[in-house]
Amino acid sequence: MYKMTHSLLESWRRATDPDADETASGAFLDTLERKKRQKTKAMQDGIVFERDVNYFAENGVFEILDGPTENVIYAMGDTIITENNVDISTPYYRAVRQFGNRIKYSQLQVREEKEIKVCGHEILLVGVADAMKAGILSDIKRVQRYEYGKYQFSTQHPMYMELFPEALRFDYLIFDGKYCYMEQYRRGDFEPIHGTIKAFLEYLDGAELMETYQKNWEV
């Protein structure tokens, strides 16, 4: 049996895009070989933003790390400026509040697995949902630039809707540094993930990469 994640499929999708460059191809091969890649600033910013949203969702206050000592400062309200001169009335903290309130009372970081069979291969789908509440899966994104439909062809919502059969909808909660956006996908808005996995496995066969996949993703 071989593990399959959204991240693996998404790196392949980007690498095989007609406009992909060598960077995307290299990233896919590293992912296929399970090599650790250094996190970019954009990735780090996304991790911090998600952490802040989750903290607000669970506690109803902001967690602000104060300099190198990382002392936690709890701040409430719209216009408080902390002793470290952190203005929580900025678009960033408004976004943290908006998304935090939206996923309040959700289950956070919900891991799920599901065994399926594609092209004769036993596949173990694995994913972790950022938030799940009342049949709605939410994923928190911080991006540098956003246009509506950015996630239309993402492998994430088809993968997670397969993993969570009780889910009715998948919401991308997106912050671009200034504004908040949301993309919503329901069952029927996209093709099931099985077709994407079939195309992925066929690609591996044609590119003579199936052995690499099986070596690094066997469970």
What percent of the chain is predicted at pLDDT more than 90? 79
Contact 110, 128 (CB under 8 A): yes
- Could you report the per-residue pLDDT of 98-120, keeping only the tens digit for each? 999 999 999 999 999 999 999 99
Average pLDDT, the chain: 90
Find all residues with CB under 8 Å of 3, minimum gap 6, and list them.
Answer: 123, 124, 126, 217, 218, 219
What average pLDDT does range 53-69 have in this prediction?
74
CA distances from 211 to 3, 41, 207, 215, 216 (A): 14, 33, 10, 6, 9
Dihedral (Cα; 41, 70, 83, 59), 10-degree rounding: 90
Q: Structural domains in the chain?
A: 2-49+105-217 (3.90.320)
The residues that bridge with 81 in the sheet, in sequence order, are 87
pLDDT higher than 90, residue 65: no
- Could you report the per-residue pLDDT of 8-42, keeping only the tens digit for each? 999 999 999 988 888 899 999 999 999 988 888 99
pLDDT higher than 50, residue 147: yes
Mapped onto helix, strand or coil, the DSSP state of residue 99 is helix
Q: What pTM was computed for the model?
A: 0.89
What percent of the chain is predicted at pLDDT more than 70? 89
- pLDDT score at 62: 81
- pLDDT score at 19: 86
Residue 179 class from Cβ within 10 Å (0-12 exposed, 13-18 middle, 19+ buried)?
exposed
pLDDT higher than 60, residue 70: no
What average pLDDT does range 138-147 have in this prediction?
97
| Helix or strand (DSSP H, E) at 184 | strand 180-186
